[in-house]
Chains A and B, each alone.
Chain A
Amino acid sequence: MTSTTSTLEPGQHRIKAHSDGAFVPVQTRSERFASTEVADFEAVTGAEAVWKLTPVRKLSALLDGPLDGSAHPLDARTGDGVTIEWVGRDDARIGSAGVPEDRGSANAWSGFEQALAITVAGEGREATVVRSELGTAARAAHTVITAAPQSTGIVILENRGSAVLAENVEIVVGDGAQLTVVSVQDWADDALHLASHFAQIGRDAKLKHVVVSFGGEVVRVNPSGHLTSEGGDVELLGLYFSDAGQHLEQQVYVDHDAPHTRSRVNYKGALQGEGARSVWIGDVLIRQSATGTDSYEQNRNLVLSDGTRADSIPNLEIETGDIAGAGHASATGRFDDEQLFYLQARGISEEEARRLVVKGFLAEIVQQIGAPELEERLLGAIEAELAAAQGA
């Protein structure tokens, strides 16, 4: 077990080690309790900072239940230079990128029996892993993606069908490597999915991480990027389209812990339909060690109908005065009537105008992925979301 307790103000923070769920709130992001053992976390009540915006009652199977941790069905497509294999819990790569910070993540960690190891070596590598037959029994999964030093490539994780899944994804980007990881949640309507992604970015390495969530009843993907080596660069991008009754959540964390590191966070979402919900929490921590850091995070939501709710919470913690830049932005707005008027004044019907604006809004993220075939498919998926929402 690994745990962190407060060292800043011991007198005030003399709280029990299991601070997750404790009454005294965590003061800085770096102090958050972490452990790979589910037993180290108290039962989730829904009052905890990390759970208070999540419909935890729907997630009891993943938070409390036993999980099937065996190797899951998958369909992998890889080219040269990428290996995909199942490995045991004792594999050295496991635990190299992060440690769970919430009970769902820890339950997955405690429960997995085999981990999927994806290794990228060489340049211009590509791999796609599709999971479409996970079924409705509660599962734990663990994936480790490793990019060898100086390698470049893209790994796409696509999720479809039904699932009740808690998982951890570790991403280790070797020195000088440039890796893109895209996780697409195009689940069936009944899917429940809790995911934590932990990325460790090497010296002068770059990770582009993209979370795309369209389908599922409750989908929570929490990516964290740890810039622990000089010159590391992380781009955390996301797009989501929440329909009636859907809860799509992402808690994003960037930890700047080395000089001259750079981060960009940009999440955009659209919400349409009764009970459509989204949550975005963006924590950026710039530690004392992270001089010359450049960071910016933003979240934008486009509300397309009544009855939706978007929570958007940016947090920026800066422990050094010597930074190149740090900023954040958050905006949640309705469809802009002036945009609509402008397009309609050019003969474009209201329906088509709405489609253009929403597509344009979300396309900004899609265009940055850098995988043309996937980009095209995602634009098609956005079209389908819009068509379904408008038909409803």
Chain B
Amino acid sequence: MSTLEIKDLHVSVETDQGTKQILRGVDLTINQGETHAIMGPNGSGKSTLAYTIAGHPKYTVESGSILLDGEEVTDMSVDERARAGLFLAMQYPVEIPGVTVQNFLRTAKTAIDGEAPAIRSWIKDVRSSMEQLRMDPAFAERNVNEGFSGGEKKRHEILQLELLKPKFAVLDETDSGLDVDALKIVSEGVNRVKQDTGLGLLLITHYTRILRYIRPDFVHVFVAGKVAEQGGPELADRLEDEGYDRFLGASA
């Protein structure tokens, strides 16, 4: 069984006003098969954690470590992390003009697996996954994220999740900007991947809405760059009733 361990992680970002500390000692352990929700108010560092795990160059790890089965992830390049089994479903996926979804997916799959996928089963996999995410087949011919609606972008992220089969996936506010129908489709997709591959999930969200569809095993509340409280799914229910005021008051 794989484990993703985050130990005393401190992360800063360069801004016009100088270096800004965002994560101030995050500890978190996720085992494969577990779903962890990270909740918290805006600016608490949730997305920073997501991008730091993926290795975005904007974020500097000051101290601490991220270990995937004991291997130091922070020493790896962005693509090495992905090949090691980490996946980030982005909140704002970027457009790649001139690169079709089909070409992109095949290139990514080949990179992750270290060899090109067998053509016939690959085409079948892509097609069935797109069907289940209610994506039109013509989608494969479009350029990556170009002119996609918000919902299409998120479905496309989950499509990649399903095809690339990572050990751990971080979903960064995948629920934002989705209507209820799209949220259901996307959540079904995530649950299906979890059932099929038994991956570990780190679900980053501001709202509890998505947790009705993807049930977390653990909930962590982020405030001011660290975990302020953690518990089981009941914590999410409590946050739904009370909001984050309690934590914001305590940190002020």
Q: Which of A's residues lie within 8 Å of B, judged by CB?
A: 336-339, 341-350, 352-353, 356-357, 359-364
Taking CB as reference atom, which chain B residue is nearest A356? Answer: B99
CA of A326 to CA of B103 in the docked complex: distance in angstroms? 34
Q: Which residues does chain A contribute within 8 Å of B56, judged by CB atoms?
A: 341
Do A345 and B98 touch (CB < 8 A)? no
Min CB gap A238→B, angstroms: 15
In the complex, whether B94 has a CB less than 8 A from a CB of chain A is yes
- In the A-B complex, list the 7 residue pairs whose CB atoms are closest, starting with the nearest: A360-B98, A347-B82, A344-B78, A346-B108, A347-B111, A360-B99, A347-B112
Do A343 and B57 touch (CB < 8 A)? no
For window 27-77 of B, CB contacts with A under 8 Å fall at 54-57, 77
Do A344 and B77 touch (CB < 8 A)? yes
CA of A44 to CA of B236 in the docked complex: distance in angstroms? 76
Residue in B57, B94, B107, B143 whose CB lies within 8 Å of A348: B107
Do B98 and A363 touch (CB < 8 A)? yes
Min CB gap A383→B, angstroms: 13
Residue in B57, B88, B96, B111 whose CB lies within 8 Å of A360: B96
Taking CB as reference atom, which chain A residue is nearest B108? Answer: A346
Q: Which of B's residues lie within 8 Å of A, judged by CB?
A: 54-57, 77-79, 81-83, 87-88, 90, 93-99, 103-104, 107-108, 111-112, 143, 160, 164
Taking CB as reference atom, which chain A residue is nearest B143? Answer: A360
* Contacts A357-B99, A364-B98; A350 near B79 (Cβ below 8 A): yes
Q: DSSP class of A's interface residues: helix, strand, loop or mixed? A: helix
Do A356 and B79 touch (CB < 8 A)? no
CA of A338 to CA of B164 in the docked complex: distance in angstroms? 20
Taking CB as reference atom, which chain B residue is nearest A300? Answer: B97
Min CB gap B138→A, angstroms: 16
Assuming A345-B82, A348-B107, A362-B98, what are 9 further A-B pairs, CB within 8 angstroms? A336-B94, A339-B96, A341-B94, A345-B55, A347-B79, A353-B79, A360-B96, A361-B98, A363-B98
User: 19 interchain pairs (CB within 8 A)?
Assistant: A336-B94, A339-B94, A341-B56, A341-B57, A342-B90, A342-B93, A344-B77, A345-B78, A345-B88, A346-B104, A346-B108, A346-B111, A346-B164, A347-B108, A347-B112, A347-B164, A348-B108, A350-B79, A360-B97
CA of A126 to CA of B157 in the docked complex: distance in angstroms? 43
Taking CB as reference atom, which chain B residue is nearest A357? Answer: B96
Do A343 and B96 touch (CB < 8 A)? yes
CA of A82 to CA of B169 in the docked complex: distance in angstroms? 60
